[in-house]
Amino acid sequence: MIKFENVTKNFKDKKVLRNITLDINKGNLVAFIGESGCGKTTTLKMINRLIRPSSGNIYINGENIESRDIIELRRQMGYVIQQTGLFPHMTVKDNIEIIPKAEKRDKSVIEKRTYELMEMVGLKPEEYLHRYPVELSGGQQQRVGVARAFATDPEIILMDEPFSALDPITRIGLQDELINLQSHLRKTIVFVTHDMDEAIKIADMICIMRNGEILQYDTPENILKNPCNDFVSKFVGKNRIWTSPEFIKAEDIMITSPVTCMQNMTLLRCMDKMRSNKVDSLMIIENTTNHLIGTISAQQIQQQSDRAREVNSIMSTDFLSVSPQDNIIDILKLVEENQVSNIPVIDEDNTLLGLITKSSLVTTLSQQYLEVEGV
């Protein structure tokens, strides 16, 4: 969708961007973040040619933006800035409709779209359309700014720190609105922010910049789990993963070598295996595969007088399980609601991948406090 190819930018003797190369996929929300002066806003403004590169090329859908008419290029993009950019002498309605009217679109279509957009950003059309920006709160003005950016139904939306000047409660509300809008519309959104929590919350991909260079361009989950260097680790914050526990997955915390047995093993041998491995249950797998077919606990065996029986005669085949991508929040709920001591992790083919135990959960949860204290 959007491609940067060896883009640099110099302002007099200062190099602001150094050889920026990246691809932004269609329908993704990409957040650019970094220290002040790192080049994130400059990068965004190059997409609609508010700033032109000193060298390199930028492509949209394979076409070099330098070959495009600049007015046409900008009209096909939505643009939201920190100060809203609303025209104070125009009503909310006129602000939203300014570009569609300039393009001489059908009046009835424009009005219908305006009403839809007002509803989408959580403002009642009848109450707000004929007000002026000065009559709105900061959060309401920014909602109108977002509605105006979507007015021409553009493929690309540019958002330059749009929520940074708002109070925390309003900012969180607008972040939620943007997430809801994006889930329905799937626009390609380039979002500049200085707030890592905001980037993690809203973005499909995060681009961390420093001194005009890209340090890491990755998913929020991978940046939290695998920062590329010490700077990114410190910038993100060692303990920040705990503000987004949905990124902690079963595959991150499971025991990768659970103690197993075959279905024809005797109960006596099962007990011996539990004692030697210091566990109170076994995962039972098929003889020729690693497919999980049941579980057996020490308590179940202790209730049997005949220990020569094969385990498949009393094993539990109705057991709880999770997939490797299930997150720790859902796993904790499962453990609490069902009062189980362990849960196997299996894939879609029922292959046993690992085991989550209460002790592994406790170890994982205690890690956040150890990290806070610097242990």
Q: Is 109 exposed, middle or buried (0-12, 13-18, 19+ CB in 10 A)?
A: exposed
Residues 12 and 119 in one domain: yes
Report whether pLDDT(369) > 80. no
Number of domains in the chain: 2
> Alpha helix (H) ranges present in 121-167?
125-128, 138-149
Minimum mean pLDDT range among 53-62, 81-90, 108-117, 265-274? 81-90
118-135 pLDDT tens trace: 988 889 999 999 999 999
Residue 33, phi then psi, degrees to nearest 5:
-145, 150
305 shares a domain with 182 = no
Is 246 within 8 Å of 201 (Cβ atoms)? no
Q: How many Å is the maximal CA-CA distance in the chain? A: 89
Q: Specify the range with the lowest mean pLDDT, choosing from 170-184, 205-219, 344-358.
A: 170-184
Cβ atoms of 328 and 356 closer than 8 Å: no
Query: Tell me, what's the pLDDT at 77?
Result: 93
pLDDT for the residue 19: 94
- My answer on whether 34 and 117 are in the same domain is yes
Q: pTM of the predicted model, to two decimals? A: 0.74
CA distance 207 to 228: 12
- The more confident residue out of 157 and 171 is 157
Range(s) of the domain holding residue 265: 251-365
Whether 198 is in a domain gets the answer: yes
123 part of a folded domain = yes
* ∠ CA 344-345-349, rounded to 5°: 115
pLDDT above 90 as % of the chain: 59
Q: Is pLDDT of 372 > 60?
A: no
Residue given tokens 């305006």 in the structure block: 114
Within a domain: 370? no
In whole angstroms, give the CA distance from residue 243 to residue 224. Answer: 10
Q: Are residues 7 and 143 in the same domain?
A: yes
Specify the pLDDT at position 238. Answer: 65
- Whether residue 353 sits in one domain with residue 260: yes
Nearest CA to 223 out of 244, 193, 194 is that of 244
What number is the average pLDDT over the span 228-244?
79
Three-class secondary structure of residue 119 per DSSP: helix
Question: What is the tens place of the pLDDT at every residue in 286-317?
Answer: 977 889 999 999 999 999 999 999 999 999 99
Of 27-41, 163-177, 262-276, which range is least confident? 163-177
Phi, psi of 321 (to 5 degrees): -155, 165
